[in-house]
A and B are shown apart, each in its own frame.
Chain A
Amino acid sequence: EDQVTQSPEALRLQEGESSSLNCSYTVSGLRGLFWYRQDPGKGPEFLFTLYSAGEEKEKERLKATLTKKESFLHITAPKPEDSATYLCAAHGSSNTGKLIFGQGTTLQVKP
């Protein structure tokens, strides 16, 4: 069964303290690995798509990487405005466009 697991569930950082969020996946025929940001009371906001192992994408203080079993979202020198829940999702071999979501990591960055 296809599965996506994120860790940790929650992460508290001081402003400027870099860290990484983990997304482990067991998906047959991976076609894409996605990262979303979700603020309280809002819908998920698309951040990145990674297609193959070794690929990296960057946006401001965020960098996403992909291996054959995991993806990492690295946050460099975070600011309080980076506080949010970060969701990881995978697209397998289905032609329906279905995404399999992890349960998310809630990040709190304190000033």
Chain B
Amino acid sequence: DAGITQSPRHKVTETGTPVTLRCHQTENHRYMYWYRQDPGHGLRLIHYSYGVKDTDKGEVSDGYSVSRSKTEDFLLTLESATSSQTSVYFCASKVTEAYEQYFGPGTRLTVT
């Protein structure tokens, strides 16, 4: 299994506050991804990165930004959290030569 950790694992925040979620991988994977998982929607891609400082939008990117200053770290920021962003967030990574992604344990975010 890829060594992927996420922090925090649980967070409760108020509407309008900024929130940053961190993903850290120790596999030297070039590609990293942020997903959200909601009942009835499955896993949906928010943003992804194909290298340091190289990022792009996924299908549900509105209200989110990302940064990747080091290979091992991929940050997801909610600039001003809304209740619709209450979800479970998963980070994933993969090597360049393969297609399968390996997931972290997730962060459960509640916006009140």
Q: Chain A interface (Cβ within 8 Å of chain B)? A: 31-32, 34, 36, 41-46, 49, 87, 89, 91, 96-99, 101-104
Contact = CB atoms under 8 A, between A and B. Distances in A.
17 contacts: A32-B100, A34-B100, A34-B101, A36-B103, A42-B106, A43-B90, A43-B106, A44-B103, A46-B103, A96-B48, A97-B31, A97-B48, A97-B94, A98-B48, A99-B101, A101-B42, A102-B42
The 9 closest A-B pairs by CB, nearest first: A43-B103, A103-B42, A101-B43, A32-B99, A91-B99, A44-B103, A101-B42, A97-B31, A43-B105
Interface in B45-71: 45, 48, 50, 56, 58
Interface residues of B, number: 25
B50 A96 contact: yes
